[in-house]
Structure 1
Amino acid sequence: MNMKTLISSAILMGTMAGTLATTAQAADYTIDTKGAHASINFRVSHLGYSWLEGRFNEFGGQFSYDEANPSAANVSVEINTASVDSNHAERDKHIRSEDFLDVKTYPKANFKSTSFTANADGTAVLNGDLTLHGVTKAVVLLVSKIGEGQDPWGGYRAGFTGTTEFKMKDFGITKNLGPASETVYMELHVEGIRQ
């Protein structure tokens, strides 16, 4: 084998190794709801006088993320709407009723991403479709990466937080508690376990 062939082979092997290393970084993650290392929280102004805060206790989902190619990231989450919890049993019954979530008719809400645009500072814009109350609308989440790495149990984890807001009436929820209470603010904390 002459020197030119040897150098060409080395370059080819190096290129392949680099490609494989980049590919190896792409990973699928399952959101860690079993360990309660994820949460979907919301708040709504109560008549403009205080904040009503709550969460959904039952949800699941997956995401894929590749630090070398963040624009290829995608997210899918499904929520059990009946699991809404505002720390007040009677209010939760009302939120589950036809006035709001109508959980008997619409037992699930889901989110599926359509694009992920990373910024240099570790933040990103996640676009996707939210289906709630039988209506699907595009929403935008402002996302921050918290971190990623090995966990103490031999696994690998990645975590993100995101916020979004939307008007209830955009999803066909027409119960009117006044202009101060029209907007839902959501905050998501997602820790995933690499599969």
Structure 2
Amino acid sequence: MDRKSYNHVAIALHWLIAGLILFMIFLGWRLGDHDSLRLSRVNLHKSVGILILLLSFVRLAWRLMHKAPPEPPMPMWQAWAAKALHVGFYVVMIGMPLTGWLMVSTSARDIPFFIWHWPHLPVPQNHDTHELFEAMHGLIAKLIIYLMVPLHVLAALKHHFIDKDEVMEHMVPGLTPKPVLNWRWIVPVGVIALAVGFGYGLDRGIPEKGGERGEHAPPPPVSAPSESATPSAEASAAPSSSVAASSEASSAATAAPTWTVDKSASKIAFATTFSGEAINGAFSAYMANIAFDPARLDVSHVKVSIDLTSVGSGDGDRDSSLRSDSFFNVDSFPKAVFEAAKFSQSDATHFVAHGKLTLHGVTKPCDLPFTLTIKGKTAQVSGATDIDRTAFGVGTGDWAKTDAVPAKVHVAITLKASRNG
């Protein structure tokens, strides 16, 4: 081994971990982007974080077993500062992924490690514990991004271009101060370029329409109904949307007009959170029988059946979990049904559908406030309400708790319908 440099294993671990940390920084800045691959980025962030943790332990063990090359002459304060920074890097290289592991362990959801599942740490699975570890994780991230990495890079450049010593050769053998244009710069520059490129370019999805929406966003053009969202939502459709007049509406002579929903221009969506992360989902399949007349509410009626297997939230693993017996249990309860035959009106455009929602084998009253405007034969409807999933038994085992996923799910709809006949 060249005495000016670490051995090849130490050098390889240094640049591999450095590249992964830089990659995680740039990937982390994109975690909040709202697109179709957001969950994939989050899972990749977790997987790479665990990998960094494992590699950091390997690097620490290797460092303890192998002597480092001698440091060049420097003032005492610089020597102590360099030592403190090196020790600090080991602390954050282990502490940052460890706090991330602790944070995701506060949820009952599986922890991904590429194609495997990583075990949970034995910590309380509640909101307060999650917030504590999230704050610690964020603090360490800021420390490494805004202080330690810049200091490390600036110190290395100072040693190379000002002090003109052999520090850079510790990790890049042959990268001497002269000549300045040394082909070995390809190592640090290449690592940085790859980290930036993959961090910004990997897992870019299709942007979500409407941008970022909170749990209580107004009814935008969203997806499709939530657990109770759909039924309830189509209740709103009742006033102006759907396909066939209910046979139970009233006698043929006094039946309310029926409405056909334009599904290409209609959206029924739900919004919730998972450990503080916004989740927006939809159901793509539903059937509606609706008869509605704002002037004859007493003969209006709506019945909507939602296919729970059509749930979609932008993440295949999560959708499978929603369909499983942990949530909807579609094998036993494949449909959610909303039915309303009673409506109230506060003014010309504001109504409330007073109905019943059957979900997960449980039937409970469900009211949906909505606004309705009719121009000619075309109706526009928007409405929103909150549904308590726990009241219907949606969420079993650890998911029955409301620390990670709140009890209330926000439902928002926009519908366009045309009157039949």
Fold equivalence (TM over 0.5): yes
For 1:166, give the aligned amino acid: I
In structure 1, the residue matched to 2:413 is 188
1:41 is matched with: 269
Distance 1:77 1:25, change over 3 A: closer
Map 1:113-128; keep pairs closer than 5 Å.
113-128=340-355
1:157 aligns with 2:378: yes
Shift of 1:95: 0.6
Alpha-carbon shift at residue 46 of structure 1 (Å): 1.7
The Cα RMSD (Å) is 2.1
Q: How does 1:1-195 map to 2 (within 5 A)?
A: 26-33=256-263, 36-47=264-275, 49-145=276-372, 147-150=373-376, 156-173=377-394, 174=396, 175-179=399-403, 181-195=406-420
Distance in 1 of aligned mates of 2:387 and 2:310? 20
Compare the two structures and name the one with the higher helix fraction: 2
Q: 2: distance between equivalents of 1:80 and 1:110?
A: 9
User: 1:29 & 1:56 partners in 2: Cα distance?
Assistant: 20
Aligned-partner Cα distance in 1 for 2:287–2:390? 26
Return the structure number with greater relative CO, CA threshold 8 A, min gap 6. Answer: 1
Does the aligned pair in 2 maintain the 1:26–1:67 contact within 8 Å?
A: no
SS of equivalent residue, structure 1 residue 181 = coil
Separation in structure 2 between the aligned mates of residue 66 and residue 25 of structure 1, nearest angstrom = 9
Q: CA deviation at 1:187?
A: 1.3
Deviation at 1:167, TM superposition (A): 1.5
Report the Cα offset of residue 177 of structure 1: 4.6
Could you list the runs of 5+ residues in structure 2 that have no partner in the other structure?
Answer: 1-252
TM-score by length of 2: 0.37
The alpha-carbon deviation at position 121 of structure 1 amounts to 4.8
The alpha-carbon distance between structure 1 residues 27 and 134, as it changes in their structure 2 partners (threshold 3 A), is same
Deviations 1:1-24 (A, max 9, x none): xxxxxxxxxxxxxxxxxxxxxx89
C-alpha contact 2:299 2:341 (8 A) present in aligned 1: no
Partner SS for 1:100: coil
- The 10-residue stretch of structure 1 (132-141 or 180-189) with the greater mean CA deviation from structure 2: 180-189
What SS does structure 1 have at the residue aligned with 2:271?
Answer: strand
Q: Secondary structure at the match of 1:98?
A: coil
Cα shift readout 1:78-109 (whole Å, capped 9, x = no counterpart): 11101101011111011111000111111111
Tell me the CA shift for residue 26 of structure 1.
4.0
Cα distance 1:121–1:31, how it changes in 2: closer, same or farther (>3 A)? same
Please say which structure displays the higher CA radius of gyration. 2
Q: In the TM superposition, what is the alpha-carbon distance from 1:162 to its structure 2 partner?
A: 1.7
Q: Which of the pair is proportionally richer in strand?
A: 1
The unaligned stretches of length 5 or more in structure 1 are 1-22, 151-155
Shift of 1:71: 4.5
Q: Is the Cα–Cα contact under 8 Å of residues 300 and 341 in structure 2 kept in the other structure?
A: no
Other structure's SS at 1:104 match: coil
In structure 2, what is the Cα distance between the partners aligned to 1:73 and 1:24?
Answer: 10
Letter in 2 for 1:28: T
The aligned residue for residue 69 of structure 2 is none
Q: Percent sequence identity over matched residues?
A: 27
C-alpha separation in 1, matches of 2:340 and 2:279: 27
